[in-house]
Structure 1
Amino acid sequence: MLEAADGDRPYDGAVVFVEYEGRLINDDVFVRTTRPDYFALTSDILTGIYEGVQLMEVGSTYELVMPPELGYGDEPPMGTSIRPGSVLIFDITLNSFLQQPDEFLAENAELEDIQVTESGLQYRVIEQGSGPSPNENSAVRVNYTGTFTNGHVFDESPDGGAQFNLQGVIPGFSEGIQLMEEGAVYEFFVPADIGYGENPPQSIPEGAVLVFEVELLMAGV
């Protein structure tokens, strides 16, 4: 333990947000993050990382010394300085992890200003609009920021807004924008089953709740 903390420990399968440096016993650094990385704590990752991060509290930094059988064993990745049988050393800081989706949605739904639709979409009205509302076939222009439930930004619109047809976006996003009037600002909480489902893009963890703050600039363009 390099730095202790009193935060929560992640659960098996949690999506964790970490910063790390990986090196060999000769201090040759083979990987280093320049910004927080995130991944699910499952058996698909290195066994030593899977085991070690579950011992950590949010805010702590640990040094994990991994025997070959908990690292890459005799099959290290190509193009690195790692050799078969290498001991790996990782300095890891656990920044946060995502709350279990069902737990987050249940707690969020109890907030006074949250409304829930029949599909399970949750939303908050930040500012009411006064213009027309789009329909499922509309092309719209919006400002938006997409985050995970820990506030990590995974997507945002360019300056001047993004323009698209509602038929071409995830169901929860389309449904939410149709609730808005032009000029409104809403916050949406999109469960995975009306988001990307079981086949999300690489940047979206499977099962993650997506949070969007959206300003509807034009309801039909």
Structure 2
Amino acid sequence: MKSVCMALFVVLFVSCSSDDLVSSKDYTAENEQEILSYISAYNLDAVATGSGLYYVIDEQGDGAAITSTSDVTVKYVGRYTDGTIFDSSEDEAISFYLQYVIEGWQEGLPYFNEGGVGQLIIPSHLAYGSSDYNSIPGGSVLVFDIEIIDYAAENEAEILNYIAENDLDAQSTDSGLYYVIDEQGTGAQPTETSYVTVNYKGYYSDGEVFEENSDGSSFYLDNVIEGWQEGLSYFNEGGSGTLLIPSDLAYGRYGSGTIPGGAVLIFDIELVAVN
């Protein structure tokens, strides 16, 4: 995930409610004509809203519905109607809460589901208004090509691919967790709040190891990620196997430390003790 200090991301988080303390020119008619000319020039199948926003849906997306307060992850390119790019995520996904960004995004993204692809064409009153802001001139119409990441679908596909490539006898759960039992174990079975001792190796689906401990790591299960809380409960003391954990049961869309947002995590585990 890119830093929130990137230029556009900082701009997106600025409310335009304090706009026009210096300038109050009304660009509504001018912006509308500019947008209609842009739509005509590129023969876009654009939909207008009552606010003046236009949007184009190339793919609706099959994931979760989006609201104006959703936590979303998006790849984007931002440009003016003449094609000049003023910023982009450069193929990296940016995560943020939608209520903190400009109105054009707050209104526009809920027309899509996660996994959706399309374009937002935003008049200045739904962006940065009539005053200059950073490098964006006052009154600018902004066009965003957007791809809304559906981590649930991407993680599922990644896990299933890993299972197939490694010929694993994996079981799935309603939460999206997959697990493989090599040895069930004969001792006590932990609950999600048990104090346990575990040997483990954590790695990504490409095999890169990010953490391991073969000396016995002890902790309360309710203090670790959900994938461990649920996953270890399928084993008995002395058991061993593998947990394949989607990001929403691990470190989510923002990641943690060196673990990137949206990452599937795989753990080879040995449940040494249930105390």
TM-score, normalization by structure 2:
0.46
Task: Work out the percentage of aligned pairs sharing the same amino acid.
Answer: 17
Quick check: 1:122–1:190 contact (8 Å CA) kept in 2? no
| Structure-to-structure mapping, 1:63-212, within 5 angstroms | 63-73=119-129, 74=131, 76=133, 78=134, 81-96=135-150, 124-129=178-183, 136=195, 138=197, 140-145=199-204, 158-159=208-209, 161-163=211-213, 165-167=217-219, 170=224, 172-173=226-227, 175-176=229-230, 178-179=232-233, 180=235, 181=238, 183-187=240-244, 202-203=254-255, 212=265
The answer as to whether partners of 2:120 and 2:143 remain within 8 angstroms in 1 is yes
- What's the C-alpha RMSD, in Å, of the aligned pairs? 4.8
- Cα distance, 1:62–1:178 mapped onto 2, change above 3 Å: closer
Partner Cα distance (1:183, 1:69) in 2? 58
Letter in 1 for 2:268: E
**Which residue in 2 is equivalent to 1:214?**
267
Tell me if the contact between 2:244 and 2:264 (Cα under 8 Å) persists in the aligned partners. Answer: yes
Higher helix share: 2
Q: Pick from 92, 100, 106: which aligns with 1:50?
A: 106
Q: What CA distance in whole angstroms lies between the structure 1 residues aligned with 2:122 and 2:142?
A: 5
Native 8 Å contact 2:197 2:271 kept in 1 = no
- Which amino acid is 1:170 matched to? V
Counterpart Cα distance in 2 of 1:115 and 1:98: 14
Q: Which amino acid counterpart does residue 64 of structure 1 have in structure 2?
A: L
Q: Deviations over 1:87-119 (max 9, x none)?
A: 2111223453769xxxxxxxxxxxxx5669xxx
Could you tell me which runs of 5 or more consecutive residues in structure 2 were left unpaired when the two chains were aligned. 1-44, 46-55, 154-170, 257-261
Opposite residue 186 of structure 1, the aligned amino acid is L
Quote the offset at 1:35 in angstroms: 2.9
Aligned counterpart, 1:107: none
Aligned equivalent of 2:163: none
Q: 1:131 to 1:48 in 2, by over 3 A?
A: same
Q: Number of aligned residue pairs: give it.
A: 183
Could you tell me which runs of 5 or more consecutive residues in structure 1 were left unpaired when the two chains were aligned.
Answer: 100-112, 146-152
CA distance in 2, matches of 1:190, 1:21: 25
Q: Which has the larger radius of gyration?
A: 2
